[in-house]
Amino acid sequence: MASAREIAIELLPHFRESVLAHHVHTYGYYAEAIGRKAASDSMAIGQAMHALGAACILAGVPVAPLFFVERADSEWRGVFQSDSAERLHVLPHYDLLYVTAREYVYATGDFERVDRALRVVFPKHLRPDQLSPHDLWHVLIYAKLKNGATILETRLAQYRQLLVELKARRAAS
């Protein structure tokens, strides 16, 4: 069976087109888009979207799956709750990540960077057995940059600034 990262790479073109068109779809929709069964493969798609979200952060792109993917029953997805590090370091920023994803206007180049993060950057720095969605998020949470901040901390600051700019543009128009 394909890994979550491999499935994320496979569904990325479908996801990109939906996001660029500003369409929100279910996990089942994406399962069917890549030739899988919605009823049995939605969990695998969920894991792939979790990997895709990590790649968004690494690429400096707002976390598109948080806004553009939903459960068929519209219930809470429980994202970031099953892993203690994600629950502690990411979940408190869910609103920021969600609103930034909702308000941002994505471009094709954003998804090229996300694709590169999934295909090249994560595999370059992690062993093959360290490429689960939780492993990818742990890199963002714990890896320190030269300035001493983590990747996640750096991106959260960028997203806060982006929201300020988006609000200012909206107020000016």
Cβ atoms of 101 and 2 closer than 8 Å = no
Q: 3-state SS of the chain: helix, strand, coil percent to 5?
A: 70, 5, 25
Higher pLDDT residue, 143 or 39?
143
d(CA 86, CA 53): 12
Give residue 111's Cα distance to chain centre. 11
Give the residue carrying structure tokens 């090229």. 112
Q: What is the pLDDT of residue 41?
A: 85
Residues 34-48 have a mean pLDDT of 89
Comparing CA positions, the residue from 19, 7, 33 lying closest to residue 133 is 7
What's the token pair of residue 16?
A: 């990109």
Tens-digit pLDDT profile for residues 77-130: 778 888 999 999 999 999 999 999 999 999 999 999 999 999 999 999 988 888
Give the Cα-Cα-Cα angle 126, 133, 69 (nearest 5 degrees). Answer: 145
Give residue 89's Cα distance to chain centre. 15
Per DSSP, the residues of 60-123 read T---HHHHHEE-TT-----TTTSSHHHHHHTGGGHHHHHHHHHH----HHHHHHHHHIIIIIHH
Cβ atoms of 68 and 114 closer than 8 Å = no
Q: How many CA atoms lie within 13 A of 92 on its CB side?
A: 8
Higher pLDDT residue, 171 or 153?
153
